[in-house]
Amino acid sequence: MLDLNEKYIINKEQEPIAVQLDIKVFKRLEEVLEDYALAQYMKETDTEEKLTLNEAKAYYKKLKKK
């Protein structure tokens, strides 16, 4: 499990209103979320047609020109 080492920011009524994280922890958390989102997207598109290597290269070249 990721050790967040979070710090809670509270208001005058002693209610938590925000959380402060170290940059290193934030970046790692961001990576985990991006990896999860990518995995979900890959699962959703798994039934789509697969491209050959040459088809993928041609498609990528078209994207770079736009």
DSSP state of 46: T
Residue range 51-63, pLDDT digits in tens: 899 998 998 888 8
66 pLDDT above the threshold of 70: no
Where in the chain are the domains?
Answer: 7-65
Residue range 26-38, pLDDT digits in tens: 999 999 999 999 9
DSSP state of 49: P
Residue 43 pLDDT class (50, 70, 90 cuts): confident
Q: Where are the beta strands (DSSP E) in 1-66?
A: 7-10, 16-20
pLDDT at 53: 93
CA distances from 39 to 6, 16, 49, 50, 57 (A): 27, 33, 17, 17, 22
pTM given for the model: 0.58
